[in-house]
Structure 1
Amino acid sequence: MTAHSDKERAAPNFKQGYGFHPLGAWADHGVDGTGEPLVVMLRPGNAGSNTAADHQQVLADALTQLPFQPGYRVGRKVLVRTDSGGGTHDFVRYCHQRRLQYSVGFTLTETTAAAVEKIPEHVWTPAYDATARSGTGRGWRS
């Protein structure tokens, strides 16, 4: 997020710009999802994308905004979706320890794609497609 002046906590970023690198969480999944922001952490422009501590703090703060109080071990009531910025061992371990469901998106490298192609067809099972509004969409996972 670009800022054209020396605003509080603004900093240079890797794209030769100046501003902020916010991190947020929204309640947007499913038919009843409201899309409302739960938490936004305003970080300096030079904040790292893969900062697990920031991802953990935003997730913890977002969980406190839910209409139910899930406690530390949330269970299957919540699905955390993140892009590759949240794809760190520390953040995934944090989600696992809290018993959260999670989905991490990332760029599929040629090495990873080649490894996936070696997985036998018989071990793949149906999975939900998070983009399906009705929850009946299908994807595949191993």
Structure 2
Amino acid sequence: MIGGVQWARAGLLTGPRAPPALARIELGRPTLPPLTYTVFCLRYEAECRSRRSFRGGPIRLTETRWADLQEINRTVNQAIEPARNEFGLAGEEWTINPDRGDCNDYAVSKRHELLRRGWPARVLLLSYGGIWVMTV
């Protein structure tokens, strides 16, 4: 402890004791989704239906699609009051269109609205980058 502040060291997964094979995700190798995503899919089954087809490649960013992106971004950002998750993983919950929420809630709400407007799921992939912090 330095000057009353306890410093933290970031580690991958569970910290320095994580087995080397679990320390990173490699492209092309299977990995499990975050538990909060699994719970989200149980709650919002329609959002997680299997959409195995990645045929069609990228979509064209037309003026209409650009307007959709701007409108949905603005609307969702104004509708959700930012709220920090003070409970870490135990308090993590992905909710579509809540009154208050964190970054995950914004992301799934925006994706939901774009899907409603007919955007293909293959171009609306979400990525989750979690960092586990341990105090030492």
Q: Give the TM-score of the pair, scaled to structure 1.
A: 0.23
The structure with the largest strand share of the pair is 1
Of Structure 1 and Structure 2, the greater helix share is in: 2
Q: Which fold has the larger relative contact order, with Cα–Cα distance below 8 Å and residues 6 or more apart in sequence?
A: 2
For normalisation by structure 2, the TM-score amounts to 0.24
